[in-house]
Structure 1
Amino acid sequence: MSQITLPLDWPNPADDGTFIVDASNSEAVRHLEHWSLWPVRTSLLTGPRKSGRSTLGRLFVGKSGGDVIDDADLSEEEALFHAWNAAQAGQRPLLIIADEPPPRWEIALPDLRSRIAATPKVRIDEPSDQLIEARLHHHFAARSLAVPQNAVNYLLKRMDRSHYALHHLIETLDRLAFERRSRLTLGLVRDAMAERGFIDL
């Protein structure tokens, strides 16, 4: 990926501003932007937790006027079945969000299983280095904290490449910077990574 872009024409969710697009999620973004072309009025979005899938769902609702069911794999199957049917009958787009698609998402209700099988599916993957760096800079710029490049490079060489790990690392960096009344430094990044178990001090 040569550049990170933002879907600026989409309404921002109430809690934050920015959904950063890269190779890990660009296919999902394009698919949701073109909801009017879906062969059925429902799509399934899967991906790891903390990947921005709920934020993308809120953006989708704001753009399309449709509905979203998050954590659908934990929801009551009969209710999902009726929601799927209602989306088709009312021509109102429905986005279903789950950790995994079938068969990893085990659906017991045959009628729901057949409908999910006929539903377009897109996925958010784990983040690239560019997305990790962009999220770090974006998050801390909102707090008027600069992230030194040597700290970013150090982090990228050692952290797990997952949205979940990045989310909790940012939380830890936030807390340590607040507790110490400190700017972000390489030393603070080292301490945060040690606390998260990425390195031994």
Structure 2
Amino acid sequence: MSQIALPLEQTPSPEQAGYLVTAANAGVHRHLENWQEWTHHTMILTGPAASGKTTMAAAFEAETDGLFLDDAENYDDTEIFHLWNRANEEQRPLLLLSAKPVSDWEISLPDLQSRLAASLHMEIGPPDQAMIDGLFQKYFAIRGLTISEDALRYLEKRMVRTYAMVRQMAQKMDALAIESRKPINLAIAKLALRHFDGDDEKVDI
């Protein structure tokens, strides 16, 4: 399974396809690699927004000819039920993605409830520092840019540690760098962080 590209908004080019594996998602990656062992050929993958679920699923689908359903909680019970049956009839792995645990899907079909309960459940954990650094580096690498080490270390101690915030911070730093025609340095990181903290104090960049 490819392990290069990261769960940000950009659509990577073929040479950037894949995802980063750290402690935050290593268990998920291990099960994707060993899909033949899934109970009933199905894995339910949950995790917060921007955590890379769709990126992982796309790489999985391409390499295994498996099936996947994004935002599975938004589909009708019968649609999920038929897809589950198809995966088992065709002996193909099925990956169901959601930001919500199955208990919050409001499933009313008893047969589907029992099948999903018997399936493998995995969750992507909060981003560790290796994931955060890698996400920032990949975001800017796609644009032919780099982020300085001191900027990474500054953000490490101060920013809210969520996948969504990594994406928002990267986008804000990118915009500030374009405006100022400066590299992604410590001053840019400070200004971006102050924006999300509601601090509009002037910072020289």
TM-score interval, normalised by the smaller of the two chains: 0.7 to 0.9
Scaled by the length of structure 2, the TM-score of the pair is 0.86
Partner of 1:81: 81
Give the distance between the partners of 1:51 and 1:62, measured in 2 at CA. 19
Aligned-partner residue type, residue 125 of structure 1: G
Give me the whole-angstrom Cα distance separating, in 1, the residues matched to 2:66 and 2:182. Answer: 44
Q: Is the 8 A contact 1:158 1:199 kept in 2?
A: no
1:65 maps to what in 2? 65
Q: In the TM superposition, what are the counterparts of 1:175-190 in structure 2 within 5 Å? A: 175-190=175-190
Retained in 2: the 8 A contact 1:158–1:198?
no
Q: Kindly indicate which of the two structures has a greater share of residues assigned to helix.
A: 2
Decide whether aligned partners of structure 1 residues 63 and 156 sit closer, same or farther in structure 2, where only a CA change above 3 A counts: same
Is the partner of 1:40 in helix, strand or coil? helix
RMSD: 2.2
Shift of 1:171: 1.2
Contact 1:77 1:109 in 2 (8 A): yes
How many residues are paired up? Answer: 194
How does the TM-score come out when normalised to structure 1? 0.88
Say whether the 8 Å CA contact 2:3–2:20 is kept in structure 1.
Answer: no
Residue identity opposite 1:32 in structure 2: L
Instruction: State how 1:21-60 maps to structure 2 within 5 Å.
Output: 21-60=21-60
Alpha-carbon contact 1:160-1:198 (below 8 Å) kept: no
In structure 2, what residue type is equivalent to 1:133?
A: D
- 2:67 touches 2:95 (CA, 8 Å); kept in 1? yes
Distance 1:81 1:197 in 2: 45
Residue type of the partner of 2:145?
L
Q: Does 1:155 align with 2:155?
A: yes
Q: Structure 2 CA distance, aligned partners of 1:182 and 1:11? A: 25
Q: Secondary structure at the match of 2:50?
A: coil
Q: Deviations over 1:120-177 (max 9, x none)?
A: 1111111001211122122223323222222111111111111111111111111221
Distance 2:66 2:198 in 1: 41
1:140 aligns with 2:136: no
CA distance in 2, matches of 1:197, 1:154: 15
Runs of at least 5 residues in structure 1 that lack an aligned partner in the other structure: 1-6
The within-5 A match list for 1:111-122 is 111-122=111-122
For 2:29 and 2:127, how far apart are their aligned partners in 1?
A: 15
